[in-house]
Amino acid sequence: MRCEQCGKADAVVRITRIESGAAPYQLCLCQSCAAKASPHQKKLLEKQSTYDVLLQKLMKHQAVGEFEAGGSVAEVAEEESPLTCPSCGLNFGDYQRTLMLGCPDCYESFSDVLEKDLTRFHRATRHTGSEEHKPSELANLQDRLRDARSELKSALEIEDYERAAFLRDEISNIESRMEELRTGEA
């Protein structure tokens, strides 16, 4: 099937559009037209191209025999495929020179390699408050919230609705307390 927008490439993405007051309709698009139509598809296409480049380099290394048994995929990626933040365009080399990130999405883009630097600079990978050794109440609440959400998901999967209701209320209380701390009402 050909792309309904450009008519040149094969359609590989089906997008369903739902607009108010109209019946839903589907578009069958190629990757490049889908990237133009949907920001989500654009991000997927960018990630896919990064993976394709990495895979090509790995295949080249394996064919030439340069990829030794002791090497790792991460080493090849760091050496030859510079990481780049899709939001701000900062590449990993620039971060290494300045030790400054360009936007909040850089944390996710460089997550694998940032963990070492964060541990080295701050002795932790997450913010724990202004007191050196005592974690802040907000950090503790964030941990409890993460755990409660995970438990809620498990409770719903096994259909333990009583436990799920309790966890729902606990999550609500934790979120309220976090909001109070953020607004300074504590």
- Cα 113 off chain centre by: 14
Q: Consecutive 10-residue runs of the chain (186 residues): their mean pLDDT?
A: 83 78 81 78 72 71 52 46 78 80 82 76 64 63 90 91 93 90 69
Q: For residues 53 and 185, what is the distance between their CA atoms, to the nearest angstrom? A: 51
Q: Where are the domains of the chain?
A: 1-37, 42-81, 84-125, 137-183
Q: How many CA atoms lie within 13 A of 23 on its CB side?
A: 2
Residue listed under structure tokens 């030859």: 80
pTM to 2 decimals?
0.30
Using DSSP, how many helices (H) and how many strands (E) does the chain show? 8, 2
Q: Which amino acid is residue 58, in one-letter code?
A: L
The pair of three-digit structure tokens given for residue 7, joined into one six-digit string: 């008519």
The predicted pLDDT at position 32 comes to 79
Is 117 exposed, middle or buried (CB count within 10 Å of its CB: 0-12, 13-18, 19+)? middle
What is the rounded CA–CA span in Å between residue 122 and residue 126? 9
Residue 145's pLDDT is: 92
What's the pLDDT at 169? Answer: 94
Distance CA 56, CA 176 (A): 49
* Cα 81 to Cα 52: distance, rounded to the nearest angstrom: 11
b/e per residue 138-154 (b: at least 16 CB within 10 A): beebbebbeebeebbee
